[in-house]
Amino acid sequence: MDKKRVAIIGVTGAVGQEFVQSLNNHPWFEVTQIAASSRSAGKKYLDAIKDASGIVAWDVGGEIPEYIKEMTVRSIDELDVSQLDLVFSAVESEAAKAIETKMAADLPVISTSSAYRYEEDVPILIPGINDEQTELLEVQKKNRNWKGWVAPLPNCTTTGLAITLKPLLEKYGAKKVMMTSMQAISGGGKSGVSAMGITDNIIPYIPKEEGKVRLETRKILGKLRDGKIEDADIRISCTCTRVPVIDGHTESVFVETTEEINPAKAKDTYNEYNKDISVAGLPSAPENYYAFHEDPTRPQPRMERSVGDGMTTTIGRVEKEELFDNGLKYMLFSHNKKMGSAKGAVLLAEMLYKKGKI
């Protein structure tokens, strides 16, 4: 089949580089245009990611893919939308909304930014979790008189929580959730966390993070009715912290369910979801969407971050919670730079392509 022509906006940044890697030799999508700030525009990609001293600032694992090295970085205004089928937006600045609005007038946009997450006609999508909300994209196009749409991923901290709550909510109901995150330093971006600040330390507050998790989790787990999302009726309390781990977010979760639950039932539920997950077989999907451990020392970031190439969500330390009449507590691990970012966005594109939205 002919590959869909895609552009990456914000291609020189940390998330943009993850897109470069995630789309290398992709069977369905081909990167044909790339864009970044005016500082990088007009340069070959390899030159654009060099600093003033000539050091190549490649921040993701592995080698820089050959296909991107000699591509010329364009400014946003220089992108030829007539020669594109899809845009991946990795814009990390306040300019994201204006850029994504401009692109969506003509093309589908899949975004890792928060610019459109809280708009009423915009679903926050996690492929395999709330696929049915993709129908809201048609409402969005009509409302805004666009040829395309904007489909954002959630905050990377929300991703693991929503993924692990979905099966429990569907089968047992979920009334209250308490979560404490232990988030990797890479989640703060290139300049988000200083070495002096995080070494031998835990930072107990991440600005705006907790509000994002509460809003996004309820929206993702809600139901699409009459062209609008009705948020899930779950009370959520969370504490978001930064810890000296390079990649991967770990979260401690307490859930009060409507129906009686125990670890054995939870394990069976996650195993059943693994068998029926909607994204099975897509190019970026892991063999197992969920990994369930009975070993009480799991999950651990160094052990879990390579599972499913960072696309598997790991669950462990699953126990009855005595604070609630029906309660469960568990630990989860979710890779913030893979499933929670660019590769998750590529998986979303695959799901939307399969549904005929791209």
The distance from CA 346 to its chain's CA centroid, rounded to whole angstroms, is: 10
Burial of residue 297 (CB within 10 Å: 0-12, 13-18, 19+) is exposed
| Position 257, amino acid | T
DSSP E strands in the chain: the ranges are 4-9, 29-35, 73-74, 86-89, 108-111, 149-152, 176-183, 223-225, 228-230, 235-242, 249-256, 290-292, 313-320, 327-334
Q: 3-class DSSP state for residue 237?
A: strand
Distances, alpha carbon 166 to alpha carbons 144, 154, 232, 273, in Å: 30, 15, 11, 10
Does 156 participate in catalysis according to the annotation?
Answer: yes
Does 335 participate in catalysis according to the annotation?
Answer: no
Catalytic residue among 238, 240, 249, 293: 249
The distance from CA 25 to its chain's CA centroid, rounded to whole angstroms, is: 21
Catalytic residue among 156, 240, 293, 335: 156
The token duo for 286 is 């892991």
- In degrees rounded to 5, what are phi and psi of residue 339? -60, -35
Q: Is the peptide bond before 299 cis (omega within 30 degrees of 0)?
A: yes
Please check whether residue 163 is in contact with residue 249, taking contact to mean a CB–CB distance below 8 angstroms: no
Give me the residues paired with residue 7 across strands.
33, 87
**Which among 322, 301, 320, 304 has a CA at the least distance from the CA of 312?**
304
Tokens 């890479």 appear where? 186
Residues making up the chain, counted from first to last: 358
Beta strands 249-256 and 223-225: pairing type? unpaired
Please check whether residue 242 is in contact with residue 203, taking contact to mean a CB–CB distance below 8 angstroms: yes
Give me the residues paired with residue 327 across strands.
256
Catalytic machinery residues: 156, 249
